[in-house]
Amino acid sequence: MATDSRRPTRRARATRRARVEARREERLRRRREARERRAETRQRRKETRKTLWEDAKNLPNLLTFLRILMIPAVLVLLERGRPKDCYWAAWVFVAAAITDLIDGWLARRMGLVSVLGKFLDPLADKLIVAAVLVWLVQMGRIPAWIVVILLSREITITALRGVASSEGLIISAGAGGKLKTALQMVGLICLIIGYRYRIDLGFYDFGLVDFTHVGRMMIYASIVFSLTSAASYMQLFANAIEQKGSGEDEG
């Protein structure tokens, strides 16, 4: 009888040992998995840092960095305010616009389109335009309400593009948006020059031209296309969202 009474105890001890061993193995397994996850995370971070550094060194992105560095150069020349300084500020601004065209072309031609470039390129464009617009207000060359409208439009469209991208939607810029950009860039160049000059092309003499006045007219015209293109973009965005929603419902 004594032997029979000890058997359940031995089985219970064996069961407890098995449970303890199982828990220990589970803890060890979780620790191994946690170490593996940490190692994978560190490796991904190293690869990301390496990729971003490599992307930062390619020619298109170097040109984009150069365009960002041109912003303080334009502002310093504008701050001096003399005709010669404004003349050179306009040329620096034109050089920045040219690098915008070149870096995009090079990225596509050389197969160097990168995430960093997709982020920096539009950022550099908006930074230099916003900085110049704000600076021209305090110089008295453009009314503040125009800058508010233009910057509000850019912020709104940028936010919509971010939402569209997160939803997997691609909405291309229309002709109105491109015309807006062209008018805006020419208008800003004229406003940066900001003084009167005699323009004689040989075949026609324009006489004394007030570049501030011409620049304002260009910016006023760009506002029309800014608002119409923004409305068109919002309509395209709304249609794309509705189509996506109806497609998911049918699926």
pLDDT in tens, 94-128: 999 898 888 777 777 777 677 777 778 888 888 99
Secondary element (H or E) of residue 209? strand 205-210
Phi, psi of 210 (to 5 degrees): -90, 105
Q: Which of 142, 156, 103 is nearest to 125 (CA)?
A: 103
Answer whether 192's CB lies under 8 Å from 74's CB. Answer: yes
CA triple 28-30-35, angle to 5 deg: 95
The two tokens of residue 13 are 């001890």
Kindly list the distances between the CA atom of residue 48 and the CA atoms of 34, 122, 237, in Å, as whole numbers in the listed order: 21, 21, 32
Kindly list the distances between the CA atom of residue 140 and the CA atoms of 43, 88, 137, 211, 215, in Å, as whole numbers in the listed order: 53, 19, 5, 13, 13
The rounded radius of gyration (Å) of the Cα atoms in the chain is 31
Which of 8-17, 40-49, 77-86: highest mean pLDDT? 77-86
The two tokens of residue 182 are 């062209």
pLDDT in tens, 218-234: 999 999 988 888 888 88
pLDDT in tens, 55-74: 667 777 888 888 899 999 99
Q: Token match 């193995």: residue?
A: 25
